[in-house]
């Protein structure tokens, strides 16, 4: 007998419904009420939004798909592990993750992404390679076992006649803060104006003397910082291990493809596809629910290559 | 050369078991099966330019089809035969579906990559939800398949690998195989040579899905276990990593990459489990950035200095072909445009264009920037461009047609920036122009190049006939423009559309192109429509001039009439409104 | 007279060649623009006028030759550096962010918001209509207003050399007159040097002190604007 393929380092993932299914939805035994279902939909959408926002920021401005996105989520989650290990307040993991993610992102943009702006498919591959490297470095440092982090918020809250996870409601608020923060950054600041100028018409932006390489660098850093932040926010929802981020990569990637460069479109895509995911998971099968986002996104793109970007 | 190599490789896999220990034989059997997959990834990505993570899924489907049949039904010689057929047919059908989803007119390369990511995820999830039928997360194990021992499987896998590698090498070196490279280099040009590139890519994907399925069949038999990881996109990315490290676009590079890395992984990952992955990952990044064509490119750089130095004897012989195409004459004008309009939202960039063009005419389309000239050319070669009005070519309404269908009506288009195939030779480019008329061989490269006399004449006038084996990227700008014109003429069109054919050319080159165009129209009876800024050139060669201004046709007449017209003087010197 | 080593040249090109990929657009071109003059570069479409401006600004890299600004080589300078050192550019192709407001379009021309208000006042002096319409999207302006906005943006940093690409294209004579007035005012009030790329003969001869005709990437003819210029240039431009 042959040695089984060692292709996927995914044995740890088997506790989940499948290796590519983020454990977003609490699988309940009892029948869901309309209210909990609604809350599931909006909070799932919020979590998807949080997880995808950093990828969108990078793709929107740089037109580069950061396939190391999952690794940055993992880095963020391990920031929470480190914070816990040092006995610090778990909330401190958020700024720590943002800074770590942004610094690593800056180095990555300089060394790996910058030479590949003209070769977007190769940039996907190189960042995927980087994801492998980061995953292995984390494994070397922390081991491959599942880590435990202190809960940011626990318990339930009474919303509209239903008892619901307090943390998931918090995630909704966090998504709103991230979304509004980004809206302010894009619409209200000079950096955002420059970034929008690059999205709309890069040759003109350069002809006006905008420092496009600096704007790209800063955007990449914000994107990766935000992604690491999202990694911290994920810790109460999923187990932390060196490959945890990969489970989220494809879903975020598909949502971003559909949303283009618009945060509004991303919010809508998260709500529609996240909603579909909750419904399929609840009423049909959580395993099939896990591929809902990817399959629906692919179909939407097949019908209209702009996806929801025109919304 | 290839034959000797193949025989050596065969000998190696046959005698191999005598020298290898069980562990190595085990690992190498698996590695060789993976190498088959790497070949399929290389054909899709390295040659045709389609970055795919989906080959793992076709492999997994083949493996699961085999293992499920053995587990659920049993195994007998008939069932093994059936498993082989299923392991190939099911992936082929899925390949057709995935190909249809991925490749359509206007689809982007990244979209095909997106689909190739979604597909393995869907397959994996279906396996997870398959219960005892698929063994869910633990996979299938304990079935009986082909009654071979360790050595038997080693030899079987090796022989399959050699056959497939040799087949792939013969294919990519054949005239037909060059089509893949042409599509990667310049898909638009392929479409405008009348090739249905979408269909070609779909067929390629289906065939390679079948090959991956065969590899899956071998794997399921040899390993005795199939697991969901075998179908996943992570495995798909590993295939791409091996292909990239070995050297995309070389067949042998990916084979060696797959075998080398998988074998080393098995040996080293025990001792340095994470470090090994770390090294592979880092190497991969460095390779993608600095050496995108992999180790094989490095080797090739030292052994021979690229294809540019092919000896002149290897040039094919030019042969005159009698016309194959469009012999029947047509009634009425060749091109009939009736009230053509193109608008973006409320802005009309073209309106109320009505124009007939007959065989033998050389019509120049002139007008200041933004007059709508290039837009009009697009409306004539893509049936989905115009917003209103009717365009008929040879009596047929082109509404809804995509470029290769319009080319089939006898329209050839020359682009403003020479649109050729940079990594092919001059002769291969010209052969590509004939591919839609005469299906090229998929197993051999012909040593004659049959072209219509007009195309040969262009080559002789421009000296390209002496450079047939030169790689196009080494040609000057003017030579590329001439080559593109020769390719368009090789299509045997009834009408050619040219967008600024003289841009960036020297005066001597302009004169040559002008003489060629005059001859094509006045002697050979082609119609030509020319967008041109160089008005001296226009005046010299046109039989008729059409003036566009702000999206409208303001004048249509002989050279004499237009040159002396007051309207034209105003448009060109004052910028005042007409 | 046109020696590139001419003293007092604001901008001097000497044997410049440039283009895209294997395509040579500008061939061995030499040209000298004096401090404080308006120079019109005429020529038909496709003759390399836009490429020349892009080469000066560093958007297209020169393959050969020297480009000197105030006597210093700027061949390897980036657009950002050049704009900082006092160059303004009014492009022709896709020249505005049509979905951004007029204010944002102008804002992108200044490096910091601190200097925005003063710069706005400067351009309002030339084109007062902009003052009341800052919030309007640039894409909703009429053709003439868009051209005035493009020129305003090039004037924001009070440059001492402006490169202007076919600003008169498709405009009514009244609008052209306004633009001509603004350019002449810049020249007389601040001593601004202006390099105009033009097809509109009437406009070019109205504002330019000297002219040259570009053909196939080379200078075909040149002279000082006088009574005979019109006939000479028309000879090169006619169909």
Q: In chain B, what is the greatest distance between 2 CA atoms, to the nearest angstrom? A: 91
Nearest chain B CA: its distance from C112 CA (Å): 35
* pLDDT score of B75 more than 70: yes
Cross-chain Cβ contact B507/C169 below 8 Å = no
Using DSSP's 3-state secondary structure scheme, residue A25 falls into coil
For residue C116, being part of any structural domain is answered with: yes
Those chains having 3 or more beta-carbon pairs within 8 angstroms of chain B are: A, C
Mutate to test the interface with A, among B129, B130, B152 (most CBs of A within 10 A): B129
pLDDT of B560:
85
Q: What is the mean pLDDT of chain A?
A: 84
Residue B177 tokens read as 């195989």
Q: Give tens-digit pLDDT for B312-354.
A: 456 788 888 777 666 566 667 889 999 998 887 767 788 889 9
Q: What are the residue boundaries of the structural domains of chain A, listed by start?
A: 59-243
Tell me what percent of the residues of chain B surpass a pLDDT of 70. 93
More confident residue, B509 or A280: A280
pLDDT tier at B535, thresholds 50, 70, 90: confident
Nearest residue to B112 via CA among B36, B38, B53 = B53
For residue C145, being part of any structural domain is answered with: yes
pLDDT of B303:
60
Structural domain including C185 reads 9-237
* pLDDT score of A311 more than 60: no
- Closest chain A residue to B279, measured at CA: A133
pLDDT of B256:
93
pLDDT of B198:
93
Using DSSP's 3-state secondary structure scheme, residue C5 falls into coil
Nearest residue to B382 via CA among B334, B430, B340 = B340
pLDDT tier at B96, thresholds 50, 70, 90: very high
Cross-chain Cβ contact C202/B575 below 8 Å = yes
For residue C3, being part of any structural domain is answered with: no
**Which CATH number does the domain housing residue C21 bear?**
3.40.50.300
Nearest chain B CA: its distance from C135 CA (Å): 23
Q: Give tens-digit pLDDT for A7-25.
A: 333 333 333 444 444 545 5
A207 touches chain C (CB under 8 A): yes
Q: Give tens-digit pLDDT for B27-52.
A: 999 999 999 999 999 999 999 999 99
Domain count, chain C: 1
Cross-chain Cβ contact C100/A204 below 8 Å = no
Instruction: Classify residue B74 as left (phi > 0), alpha (psi -120 to 50) or beta.
Output: left
- Residue B269 to residues B228, B264, B273, Cα–Cα distance (Å): 21, 8, 4
Q: Give tens-digit pLDDT for B377-406.
A: 889 988 888 888 899 998 889 988 999 999
- Closest chain C residue to B368, measured at CA: C45
Beta bridge partners of B319: B450
Cross-chain Cβ contact B225/A1 below 8 Å = yes
For residue C90, being part of any structural domain is answered with: yes
What are residue A225's phi and psi, to 5 degrees? -60, -45
User: Which chain A residues touch C84 with a CB distance below 8 Å?
Assistant: 209
Give ipTM to 2 decimals.
0.88
B140 touches chain A (CB under 8 A): no
Cross-chain Cβ contact A203/C59 below 8 Å = yes
Q: Give tens-digit pLDDT for A92-137.
A: 999 999 999 999 999 999 999 999 988 888 999 999 999 999 999 9
Residue A269 tokens read as 């895509």
pLDDT tier at B430, thresholds 50, 70, 90: very high
Q: Cβ atoms within 10 A of the Cβ of A167, count?
A: 20
Nearest chain C CA: its distance from A190 CA (Å): 8
Nearest chain B CA: its distance from A300 CA (Å): 11
Using DSSP's 3-state secondary structure scheme, residue B471 falls into strand
Q: What is the mean pLDDT of residues A286-310?
A: 82
Q: Which residues of B158-180 are buried (b: 16+ CB within 10 A; e: fewer)?
A: bebbbebbbebbbbbebbbbbbb
Residue B513 tokens read as 């192109």
In this complex, which of A197, A204, A207 lies closest to C57 when CB atoms are compared? A207
B228 touches chain A (CB under 8 A): yes
* pLDDT score of B570 more than 80: no
For residue C226, being part of any structural domain is answered with: yes
For residue C1, being part of any structural domain is answered with: no
Spatial distance between the Cα atoms of C34 and C10, rounded to a whole number of angstroms: 5
Nearest chain A CA: its distance from B20 CA (Å): 15
For residue C4, being part of any structural domain is answered with: no
Nearest chain B CA: its distance from C234 CA (Å): 8
User: Which chain B residues touch A290 with a CB distance below 8 Å?
Assistant: 125
CA dihedral B400, B402, B405, B411 (to 10 degrees): 100
- What's the average pLDDT block by block, 10 residues per block, for chain C (239 residues)? 58 88 80 92 77 90 89 88 91 88 93 90 91 88 88 93 88 87 92 90 90 82 84 74
Nearest residue to B422 via CA among B241, B258, B257, B186 = B186
Those chains having 3 or more beta-carbon pairs within 8 angstroms of chain C are: A, B
Cross-chain Cβ contact C203/B577 below 8 Å = no
In this complex, which of B266, B274, B289 lies closest to A139 when CB atoms are compared? B274
Q: Which residue has the tokens 């040759």?
A: A203
Using DSSP's 3-state secondary structure scheme, residue B61 falls into helix
Structural domains in chain B plus CATH codes: 2-233 (no CATH), 335-438+446-573 (3.40.50.300)
Using DSSP's 3-state secondary structure scheme, residue C193 falls into strand
How buried is residue A51: exposed, middle or buried, by Cβ count under 10 Å (0-12/13-18/19+)? buried
pLDDT of C2:
44
Cα within 13 Å of Cα(A228), Cβ side: 27
Instruction: Find the angle CA(C121)-CA(C126)-CA(C132) to the nearest 5 degrees.
Output: 60
A261 touches chain C (CB under 8 A): no
8 A C-beta contact, residue B304 and residue A159: no
Residue B562 tokens read as 């237009």
- Closest chain B residue to C216, measured at CA: B504
Q: What is the mean pLDDT of chain B?
A: 87
CA dihedral C109, C112, C114, C117 (to 10 degrees): 10
């Amino acid at each position: 007998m042959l040695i089984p393929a060692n292709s996927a380092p995914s044995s740890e993932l088997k506790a989940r419904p499948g290796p590519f299914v983020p454990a977003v939805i609490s699988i309940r035994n009892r029948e869901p009420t309309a209210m909990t279902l609604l809350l599931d939909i909006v909070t799932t959408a919020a979590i998807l939004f949080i997880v995808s926002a950093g990828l969108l920021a990078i793709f929107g401005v740089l037109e580069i798909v950061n396939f190391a996105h999952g690794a940055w989520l993992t880095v963020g989650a391990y920031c929470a592990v480190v914070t816990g290990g040092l006995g610090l307040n778990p909330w401190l993991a958020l700024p720590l993750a943002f800074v770590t993610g942004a610094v690593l992102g800056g180095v990555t943009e300089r060394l790996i992404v910058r030479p590949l702006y003209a070769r977007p498919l190769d940039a996907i591959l190189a960042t995927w390679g980087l994801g492998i490297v980061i995953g292995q470095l984390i494994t070397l440092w922390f081991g491959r076992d599942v880590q435990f982090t202190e809960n940011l918020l626990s318990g339930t809250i009474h919303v509209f006649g239903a008892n619901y996870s307090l943390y998931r409601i918090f995630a909704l608020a966090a998504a709103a803060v991230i979304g509004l923060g980004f809206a302010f950054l894009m619409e209200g600041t000079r950096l955002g104006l420059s970034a929008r100028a690059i999205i709309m018409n890069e040759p003109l932006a350069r002809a006006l003397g905008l420092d496009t390489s600096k704007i790209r660098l800063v955007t990449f850093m914000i994107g990766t910082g935000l992604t690491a932040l999202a990694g911290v926010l994920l810790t109460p929802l999923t187990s932390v291990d060196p490959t945890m981020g990969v489970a989220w990569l494809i879903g975020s990637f598909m949502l971003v493809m559909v949303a283009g460069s618009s945060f509004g479109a991303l919010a809508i895509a998260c709500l529609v596809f996240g909603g579909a995911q909750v419904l399929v998971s609840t009423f049909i099968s959580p395993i099939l629910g896990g591929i809902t986002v990817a399959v629906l996104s692919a179909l939407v793109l097949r019908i209209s290559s702009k996806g929801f970007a025109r919304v | 050369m290839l034959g000797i190599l193949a025989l050596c490789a065969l000998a190696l896999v046959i005698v191999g078991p005598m020298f290898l220990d069980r562990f190595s034989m085990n690992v190498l059997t698996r590695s060789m099966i993976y190498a088959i997959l790497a070949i399929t990834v290389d054909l899709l990505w390295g040659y045709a330019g389609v970055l795919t993570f989906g080959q793992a899924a076709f492999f997994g489907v083949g493996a699961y089809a085999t293992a499920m049949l053995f587990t659920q039904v049993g195994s007998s010689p008939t069932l093994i035969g059936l498993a082989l057929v299923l392991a190939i047919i099911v992936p082929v059908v899925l390949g057709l579906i995935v190909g249809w989803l991925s490749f359509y007119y206007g689809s982007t390369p990244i979209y095909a990559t997106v689909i190739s990511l979604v597909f393995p995820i869907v397959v994996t999830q279906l396996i997870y939800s398959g219960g005892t039928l698929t063994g869910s997360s633990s996979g299938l194990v304990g079935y009986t398949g082909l009654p071979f021992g360790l050595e038997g499987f080693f030899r079987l896998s090796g022989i399959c690998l050699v056959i497939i590698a040799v087949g792939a090498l013969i294919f990519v070196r054949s005239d037909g195989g060059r089509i893949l490279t042409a599509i990667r280099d310049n898909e638009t040009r392929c479409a405008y040579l009348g090739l249905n590139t979408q269909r070609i890519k779909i067929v390629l994907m289906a065939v390679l899905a079948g090959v991956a399925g065969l590899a899956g069949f071998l794997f399921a038999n040899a390993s005795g276990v199939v697991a969901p990881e075998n179908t996943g996109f992570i495995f798909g990315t590993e295939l791409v990593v091996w292909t990239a490290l070995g050297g995309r676009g070389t067949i042998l590079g990916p084979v060696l990459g797959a075998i080398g890395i998988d074998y080393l992984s098995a040996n080293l990952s025990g001792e340095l489990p994470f470090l090994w992955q770390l090294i592979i990952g880092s190497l991969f990044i460095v390779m993608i950035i600095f050496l995108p064509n992999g180790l094989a490119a490095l080797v090739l750089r030292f052994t021979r200095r690229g294809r540019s130095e092919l000896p002149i004897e290897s040039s094919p012989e030019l042969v005159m072909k009698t016309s194959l195409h469009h012999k029947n004459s047509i009634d009425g004008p060749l091109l009939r445009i009736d009230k053509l309009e193109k608008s973006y939202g409320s802005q009309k960039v073209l309106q109320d264009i009505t124009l007939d063009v007959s065989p033998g005419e050389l019509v120049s389309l002139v007008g200041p920037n933004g007059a709508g000239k290039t837009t009009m050319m697009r409306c004539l070669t893509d049936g989905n461009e115009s917003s209103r009005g009717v365009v008929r070519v040879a009596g047929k309404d082109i509404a809804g047609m995509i470029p290769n269908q319009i080319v089939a009506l006898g329209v050839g288009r020359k682009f403003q920036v020479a649109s050729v195939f940079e990594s092919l030779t001059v002769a291969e480019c010209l052969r590509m122009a004939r591919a839609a008329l005469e299906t090229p061989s998929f197993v051999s490269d012909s040593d004659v190049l049959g072209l219509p006399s007009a195309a040969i004449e262009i080559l002789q006038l421009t000296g390209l006939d002496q450079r047939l084996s030169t790689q196009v990227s080494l040609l000057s700008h003017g030579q590329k423009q001439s080559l593109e014109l020769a390719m368009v003429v090789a299509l045997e069109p009834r009408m050619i559309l040219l967008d600024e054919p003289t841009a960036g050319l020297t005066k001597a080159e302009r004169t040559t192109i002008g003489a060629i165009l005059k001859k094509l129209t006045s002697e050979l009876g082609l119609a030509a429509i020319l967008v041109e800024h160089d008005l001296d050139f226009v005046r010299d060669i046109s039989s008729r001039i059409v003036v566009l201004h702000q999206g409208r046709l303001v004048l249509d007449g002989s050279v004499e009439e237009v040159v002396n017209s007051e309207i034209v003087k105003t448009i060109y010197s004052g910028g005042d409104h007409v | 007279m046109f020696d590139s080593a001419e003293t007092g040249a604001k901008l001097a090109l000497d044997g410049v060649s440039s283009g895209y990929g294997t395509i040579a657009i500008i061939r061995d071109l030499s040209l000298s623009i004096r401090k404080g003059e308006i120079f019109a570069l005429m020529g038909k479409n496709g003759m390399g006028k836009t490429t020349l401006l892009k080469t000066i600004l560093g958007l297209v890299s020169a393959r050969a030759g020297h480009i000197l600004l105030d006597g210093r080589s700027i061949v390897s300078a980036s657009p950002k550096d050049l704009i900082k050192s006092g160059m303004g550019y009014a492009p022709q192709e896709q020249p505005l962010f049509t979905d951004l407001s007029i204010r944002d379009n102008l804002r992108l021309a200044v490096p910091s918001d601190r200097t925005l208000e003063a710069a706005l006042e400067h351009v309002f002096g030339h084109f007062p209509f902009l003052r009341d319409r800052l919030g309007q999207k640039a894409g909703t302006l009429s053709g003439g207003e868009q051209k005035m906005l493009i020129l305003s943006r090039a004037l924001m940093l009070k440059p001492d050399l402006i490169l202007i690409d076919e600003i008169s294209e498709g405009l009514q004579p009244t609008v052209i007159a306004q633009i001509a007035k603004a350019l002449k005012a810049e020249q007389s009030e601040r001593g601004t040097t202006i390099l105009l790329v033009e097809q509109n003969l009437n406009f070019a001869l109205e504002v330019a002190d000297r002219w040259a005709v570009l053909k196939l990437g080379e200078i075909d003819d040149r002279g000082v604007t006088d009574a005979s210029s019109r006939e000479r240039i028309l000879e090169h431009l006619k169909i």
